Structure 1
Amino acid sequence: MTQPFKDAIGICKAIMRNGYDAYVVNTQLQSEILDQDCLEIDIACEPGYVELGKIFPGLEMSGEDGVVGTLREGGTLFRFYHTDTDDSSHPEATLARVTPTMLRRLEAKGTLPASLACPFIPSSAETYQGFDDFSKGDIRFEGVPDETLRRSYVLGVRAMRIAANFDLPIEPNSWMAIVRSASRILDYVPVTEIMDEWRKVEAENMYKFVQLMFDSMLLHGLIPELAALSRIRHLRTPEAGEETVLDHTIECMRRYPEELPFDWLGTVATMFHDVGKLYAAEYYNGKWTFYQHHRIGAKVTRKILRRLHFLPEDVDLICHLVRNHMRFHFMLTDKGIRRFKALDEYPRLIEMARADIKARDGNYTHFNHNMKYLERAETPEQMLEPLLNGNEIMEFTGLKPGPYVGVIRDALLKAQVTGEVTSMEEAIEYVKTYSERAPR
């Protein structure tokens, strides 16, 4: 090994001792094309110019494309390029195998392989790096879509996130690159990176993002329990007939933020509210039933959210909403509405029920009844019903059926409201005393 390459290895070790990755780019090729009259060696490394300058005080800025900086030592010029640190890139894109300097030397020798005509040199990541100008009215990858995606497969998820948030279509060739690479996106992109993109989707646009995830087949690998809902049908309305549970879920996600905008966690709960139907589905007597799907769904949702690395407190909240989302669908009594109002996050449960009705074009009879009773829940329970009903009043007073029994009942309720009567014993004594004034 010649001295310049020994020096290059020493430089790489110095970088690595400081906690960064570094390597000599394609040592074999560089040794073959090294010009002894002009010694130049290219190194790929992780740190930027500032961090590299702290390790090598003699580092100088460079105007060359993609070059972080240059260092001259022992008669050799060392160029530093960025190395690929993206966890979501294809394995073959991890190593830079050729640089612009090496290309110039190969061209001068007349031995430039066609495969090296368009080298990829990693650079520091930017939010919209890899995308063409959005002014064209769609989302498209720059250059050859499949090759651009290979450099960072998270761009596939990011493209769908941007498309959902800005309501823009994905350019057909870029879309096909995503569909073709669906399995590789799931293979190489960490779940944490996928969820980081997902969390940047606005609640109002999440239904579009989930639809894109399903259409691209990414949802099938990431959350197969949710994708499987596309194979289950339930009754929308007797007039409209059946629909898939996934179609209903996506429509609910569209409707939920109409009343509670920006509620990201509530929209996620709406996404999972029917996931239990996958496990509860039973076909009997010509129709589908999904008994206890809300409780089953909460258990399944907890498993999914842990797999997606949600925070424990968010897992508890979302599972709570899934478990109780059916409570407001039934016509509740006074006691039932009070039990409902005692639940945490009950306003979100109301909006989940409203979104469900909107998604089905359903009937609001039970919903409106419960909303009226919800107002009554502000009234103390003792102000709604007397401690003794009509039959009990007649039993304790000896009165016969008649209008005066109703008068005593109303008087007892007023006595409860004012605090004059607070127990069953006091109520019995009160009606006995009041009955003595009954007309004979």
Structure 2
Amino acid sequence: MSDPYKEAVSICKTIMRNGYDAYVVNARMQHLVMEGGDVELDIATDLDFKGLDKLFPAIEHSKEHLAIGKFVEDGVLFRFYPTDIEDGSHPEECVARITPRLMRKLESTGEIPANLACPYIPESEDRYKGFEDLEGGEVKFKGIPDDTLRRDYLRGIRAMRFAANFGLPIEPNTWTAIVRGSKRMLDYIAVSDIMDEWRKVEAENMADFVQLLFDSMVLHGLIPEVAALSRIKQMKNEDEGTEEETVFEHMLNVMRFYPEHLPYDWIGTLSCMFHDVGKLYTAEFFDDRWTFYQHHRVGAKITRKIMNRLRFDPNDTDLICHLVRHHKRFGFMLTDKGIRRFKALDEYPRLIELERAGVKARGGNYTEFNHNTKMLERADIPEDMLEPLLNGNEIMDFAGLNPGPAVGIIRDALLQAQIAGEVGTVPDAVEFCIRYKEREGLS
């Protein structure tokens, strides 16, 4: 090893002993372009200029494109470039093999290796780096899409987020690169990073984002339990015709309708994605129809497993599992006791909107929903106020009435008086009925 390279290695070791990474960029190529010229060496490191200045006081800023700094020692010019720090990049992209200086040297010889035709020097990136301007009306990677994606596979998830949030199409070549790279996205991107991007998707746009995850095959690897719902069929509306739909299609429609009444509810919208996941495990075809008995209970258990795998906060996990577990409660015509039990549940307004979105997604009728909505008002009335102190027969006996409309009128008036606190005992109720009959002239 020649003295310049020994010195370069010594510099790298100094940086590494201080807790940072450093290496000589493509030593073999630098040796080739060094012959017959000035002795210059390029070093890549994740240490910034301020840190380098503490270790090498002779360093100064460099005008070279992308270079952090430079200094001369024993006649050798050392330049420093930023190394790759993206966790989501392809392993081969972690090592810089070309710098602008080396590229110029190669161009001067007229021989540029094919794999270096589009050189890349790792550097800190902003969220829009690697993308063409979105004002162009589409989401598009810069340069060669596959290469741009390889440098940071998180860009694939980000591209789908941009498309969903801004309502933009993804450019065909960019989309093809995403589909081709879907497996590697899951290989090289941490689940926490994927969910960090997902949390930036607006609730109103989440259905579109999930559809893109499904179409790109990312969802199949990330949440296979949800992707598999595309292979489970159900009757769209059992009251009308025999139209079938997949559970996945129904789930997406519920996700679209839910934010109409609870906008910006990200957790509630996400729970819509899991509300029918239990149908994958409870589906049974019998007597020419599909059944999914207890899918809400099973779904809550499956959802908890998925939430843990996606590294969700325990409180969010508990909330989403709660919504999945009880999402059917408002779907049946409830009695007085049933509506009281329902209203005692945590987050019952979200459960109401889950059912509303479900009815709309199925194109069903709102008979049960409207009944339960009206019953909610009764749930605020104490149970002992739901029935009058005297029944119809007793009102006829005490007031001296024959069967007829007058009995019902007095009964309703008595109940209102009880609710208002004007009547509290049976004797008071008897007196009220007699006086009311005389005052209104009923017979």
TM over 0.5: yes
Following superposition, the deviation at residue 135 of structure 1 comes to 2.4
* Aligned counterparts of 2:45 and 2:212: Cα–Cα separation in 1: 36
Aligned counterpart, 1:142: 142
Decide whether aligned partners of structure 1 residues 327 and 387 sit closer, same or farther in structure 2, where only a CA change above 3 A counts. Answer: farther
Decide whether aligned partners of structure 1 residues 119 and 257 sit closer, same or farther in structure 2, where only a CA change above 3 A counts. Answer: same
Aligned counterpart, 2:421: 418
Decide whether aligned partners of structure 1 residues 5 and 168 sit closer, same or farther in structure 2, where only a CA change above 3 A counts. Answer: same
Q: Pairwise CA RMSD of aligned residues?
A: 3.0
* Aligned counterparts of 1:322 and 1:285: Cα–Cα separation in 2: 28
Aligned counterpart, 2:379: 377
2:349 to 333, 347, 350: 347
Matches within 5 A, 1:124-163: 124-163=124-163
Query: After alignment, is 256-265 or 72-81 more displaced?
Result: 72-81
**Any stretches of 5+ residues in structure 2 without a counterpart?**
436-443
The residue matched to 2:58 in structure 1 has which SS?
coil
Post-superposition Cα deviations, 1:29-70, rounded to whole Å, max 9, x if no partner, equal: 323433476221101111233333343333212222121211
- The answer to whether the 8 Å contact 2:45/2:80 transfers is yes
- Confirm or deny that 1:261 pairs with 2:263: yes
- The answer to whether the 8 Å contact 2:388/2:411 transfers is no
Aligned counterpart, 1:62: 62
- The answer to whether the 8 Å contact 2:22/2:45 transfers is yes
Query: After alignment, is 270-279 or 72-81 more displaced?
Result: 72-81
Post-superposition Cα deviations, 1:333-392, rounded to whole Å, max 9, x if no partner, equal: 11111111111111111111111111111100111111111112222222112478679x
The residue matched to 1:59 in structure 2 has which SS?
coil
Following superposition, the deviation at residue 89 of structure 1 comes to 1.2
Following superposition, the deviation at residue 73 of structure 1 comes to 2.2
Aligned counterpart, 1:202: 202
Matches within 5 A, 1:37-436: 38-109=38-109, 111-237=111-237, 238-239=240-241, 241-386=243-388, 418=421
* Aligned counterparts of 2:284 and 2:368: Cα–Cα separation in 1: 25
The residue matched to 1:163 in structure 2 has which SS?
helix
* Aligned sequence identity (%): 58
The residue identity in structure 1 corresponding to 2:184 is R
The residue matched to 2:96 in structure 1 has which SS?
coil
Aligned residue pair count: 431
- The answer to whether the 8 Å contact 1:39/1:75 transfers is yes
Aligned counterpart, 2:15: 15
The residue matched to 2:312 in structure 1 has which SS?
coil
Post-superposition Cα deviations, 1:125-156, rounded to whole Å, max 9, x if no partner, equal: 11111111222211111111111111111111
The residue identity in structure 2 corresponding to 1:277 is K
Aligned counterpart, 2:438: none
The residue identity in structure 2 corresponding to 1:180 is R
**Any stretches of 5+ residues in structure 1 without a counterpart?**
none
Decide whether aligned partners of structure 1 residues 416 and 247 sit closer, same or farther in structure 2, where only a CA change above 3 A counts. Answer: closer
- The answer to whether the 8 Å contact 1:331/1:366 transfers is yes
Following superposition, the deviation at residue 98 of structure 1 comes to 2.0
* Aligned counterparts of 1:314 and 1:193: Cα–Cα separation in 2: 17
Following superposition, the deviation at residue 18 of structure 1 comes to 2.6
* Aligned counterparts of 1:77 and 1:408: Cα–Cα separation in 2: 101
The residue identity in structure 2 corresponding to 1:158 is R
Decide whether aligned partners of structure 1 residues 408 and 43 sit closer, same or farther in structure 2, where only a CA change above 3 A counts. Answer: closer
* Aligned counterparts of 2:59 and 2:340: Cα–Cα separation in 1: 72
The residue matched to 1:67 in structure 2 has which SS?
coil
Following superposition, the deviation at residue 80 of structure 1 comes to 0.9
* Aligned counterparts of 2:377 and 2:416: Cα–Cα separation in 1: 19
Query: After alignment, is 317-326 or 30-39 more displaced?
Result: 30-39
- The answer to whether the 8 Å contact 2:131/2:142 transfers is yes
Following superposition, the deviation at residue 242 of structure 1 comes to 1.0
